[in-house]
Amino acid sequence: MGREVSESCVDSVLTEMVSSYCNGFYANKPELAARRIEAIGYQVGHQLSERYTMERPRFSDHLEAIKFICKDFWSELFKKQIDNLKTNHRGTFVLQDNKFRWISHMSIDPSSENGSTVEDNSVPAGESKAAQATSMHLYFPCGIIRGALSNLGIPCAGFCRYI
Amino acid sequence: MAPVGPRSGDAIFANVERVNAELFTLTYGAIVRQLLTDLEEVEEVNKQLDQMGYNIGIRLIDEFLAKSNVSRCVDFKETAEVIAKVGFKMFLGVTASVTNWDADGTCCSIVLEDNPLVDFVELPDTCQGLYYCNILSGVIRGALEMVSMKTEVTWAKDMLRGDDVFELQVKLLKQVPEEYPYKDDE
């Protein structure tokens, strides 16, 4: 493993970043805040995938690239692989991480609702603040994946959900 | 059981959860870049980084005190040493040194030769005046405020601006005695 820093450095910086954009710059515009956070993630993902694929040949197909993200890339970032990968073989992939480090340390008010299992992207009217805070944090890793894949030649759109 | 003494920076760092520093470096870099795009003015970005650092520092001090087991520092000199040897080590994995003490013992320089924040970083000409690592000055200021020390933290040297090291000047302004929230006669 190369140089390391304590995990709390990354946690602190990410928390402050989300807080600055959500409560500061775009206080009442969660959409804009989300886009900024995702953009930051995009850049990180792009640069990281550049570094981690420098010595490899190009990926033969989309599935190979996604597998790289799930295994090598995720391990470099989170010291574990993606737990589950599903696909409909028509361009949609679902990556599942059962113990995502960055939100495993977040506590949620037990009186709030559990994450929804609604399929579409629209936010249900009564979404709790806690769920919203969690999803804001998830825009960053979402951006990382999108950035990494775009550097591998795969433009994509995606979203992250806490279930 | 004998009381446990303060732990060395190396020992703590070996025991905390650690992550790939590249992720940290690139994340911080992307945040600074995005702030430059959104805030446009370099001075505004400096201020924002300092504020973010302050917000981090006021919380990080708890983790520091919990993990390092340091007892109350006798004086500001000890405080500065602890920041340089234990604080920097347990979070950033690097050690700093303390120099340039003034006659009163209230102002010193914390010198960092190795800084993970700036790996692979170069400042373009358009960023004149940017204190890229300003988050660090905020962290120190915030953390010290939580232990009753009001300080002023400024950059004396910055490797990204051509200097040979990073040098933070830390000046103790006021030692505020701990206040109890309830006054006896109210």
- Chain A residues inside the 8 Å CB shell of B27: 10, 13-14, 17, 40, 44
**CB nearest to A40's CB, from B17, B18, B31:** B31
pLDDT tens by residue, B18-54:
998 999 999 999 999 999 999 999 999 999 999 999 9
The residues facing B157 across adjacent strands are: B167
Chain B, 57 to 96: residues with Cβ < 8 Å from chain A are 59-60, 63, 90-93
Q: How confident is the model at residue B4 (pLDDT cuts 50, 70, 90)?
A: low
Would strands A93-96 and A84-87 be described as parallel, antiparallel, or unpaired?
antiparallel
Write down the number of H helices and E strands in chain B: 6, 5
In a domain, B183, yes or no: no
Q: What is the mean pLDDT of residues A16-35?
A: 88
C-beta atoms of B16 and A6 within 8 A: yes
In a domain, B163, yes or no: yes
Within a domain: residue B3? no
**Closest to A43 in 3D by CA, of B33, B165, B70, B185:** B33
- Across A24-33, A63-72, A95-104, the highest mean pLDDT is recorded for A63-72
By residue range, what is the domain housing residue B81?
Answer: 19-175
B73-131 tens-digit pLDDT: 888 999 999 999 999 999 999 999 999 999 999 999 999 999 999 998 999 988 989 99
> Residue B92: which of A5, A16, A79 has the nearest Cβ?
A5
Indicate yes or no: CB of B19 within 8 angstroms of CB of A76: no
Mean pLDDT of A51-63: 84
Q: Can you give the pLDDT at residue A28?
A: 83
**Using one digit for the tens of pLDDT, what is the confidence trace for A78-93?**
888 989 888 888 888 8
Domain count, chain B: 1
Structural domain includes residue B13:
no
What are the Cα distances from residue B136, in Å, to A78, A127, A136, A137, B92? 25, 36, 25, 23, 11
The CATH number covering residue B96 comes to 3.30.1380.20
pTM over the 0.95 mark: no
Q: ipTM score here?
A: 0.87
- In a domain? residue B182: no
